Structure 1
Amino acid sequence: MPEIRAETLVGGMTPETVWPLVKDSAGIASPAAHVVSVRALSEQDRTFRLNEWKVLLNGSEVTWTQREAAGPGLRLRFEQTTGDLERLSGEWAVSAAHDGTLVRLTLAYELGVDGLAPLLEPIWTQSFQAHADALTRAVSARAAEHRATEKNPT
């Protein structure tokens, strides 16, 4: 199963301040142009929820529902429960870094087309890498907005 990694450093903010931004799937997705929508389906409590994602990858709309579970620590694990892919899982991790907070997104996927996987996986891996990079950039952008709001409250 191919694995994708993306990370960003959010300067000047603690992990505890960045964590709520990471947990806000819809907020992260909104600045990412390739994300069509993220819709909350249910939330059991503050540690478990279901979200439906619609994303443009390789020129096609790909849809999946993922179960998200927070913890232990500042980690948000997710796993596809239904959708267009055979499998999709991953984790957001937030940790202290030298000048702020490191936000890391790791995801793994399986297309479910065994005979064509060697041909398709490089293309899909590139698309999922772009997806992960865009989401980590979105966290950084949301953090910058958050800092600006704290400095200049209206």
Structure 2
Amino acid sequence: MPYVEVNLPVKATKSEIYPILKNMEKYPEFMADLVSVEVVDRKETTTITKWVSNVDGRIIKWTELDTFDDAAMHIHYKQTEGDLKKFEGEWILTPLEDGTTEIKLTVDFEFGIPMIAGLLNPILKKKVRDNSMNMLTAIKERMENRA
């Protein structure tokens, strides 16, 4: 199963970044690959969200359970239904010595067609890595270019 981990330092504190990460329905406003994110259900520590993404002209849809640990400013997500067999990971915020915060996004996924997984997994892994880094870059730009 492919696993992707990307990280990027951002000139902002955990407490400044976490609300942006948590407000997933706003992601399409500043993340080009996302068509939509809809909150279907919101509870105190979880949301159910429906996602539509456009990756190189291919529409990928899924529903995920997002679990928020506000004290640790940590988010875990897991697909509950959708186009991939498995799609889950986490957002991890780590303060750095210079006053910046490292944002780490992990994605553990499985395409779900074993016979072609060997052929597709390297391609999909690169696409997921690129898309994940684009998400981090969009958050970095949003945080560092705010007025």
Do these two structures clear the TM 0.5 threshold for a shared fold by scoring above it?
yes
Report what 1:118 is aligned to. 118
Give, in whole Å, the separation in 1 of the partners of 2:25 and 2:8: 19
* 22-31 or 70-79, larger mean C-alpha shift: 22-31
- Aligned positions of 1:62-77 closer than 5 A: 62-71=60-69, 73-77=72-76
What is the TM-score normalised by the length of structure 1?
A: 0.88
Question: Residue 133 of structure 1 aligns with which residue?
Answer: 133
Aligned residue in 2 for 1:82: 81
Q: What is the alpha-carbon distance in structure 2 between the residues aligned to residue 14 and residue 35 of structure 1?
A: 25
SS in 2 for 1:16: helix
1:59 maps to which of 50, 53, 57 = 57
Supply the distance in 2 between the matched residues of 1:58 and 1:123 (Cα, whole angstroms): 12
- Aligned runs of 1:14-93 on 2, under 5 Å? 14-45=13-44, 47-71=45-69, 73-93=72-92
Q: Which SS does the other structure have where 2:116 is aligned? A: helix
Distance in 2 (CA, whole Å) between partners of 1:117 and 1:59 is 21
1:58: Cα distance to partner?
A: 4.3
Task: Quote the RMSD (CA, aligned, Å).
Answer: 1.4
Q: Which runs of 5+ in 2 are unaligned?
A: none
TM-score by length of 2: 0.92
Contact 2:89–2:108 (8 Å) recurs in 1: yes
Helix, strand or coil for the counterpart of 1:30? helix
Using the alignment, how far apart are the partners of 1:116 and 1:77 within structure 2?
28
- Counterpart mapping for 1:93-112 below 5 A: 93-99=92-98, 100-112=100-112
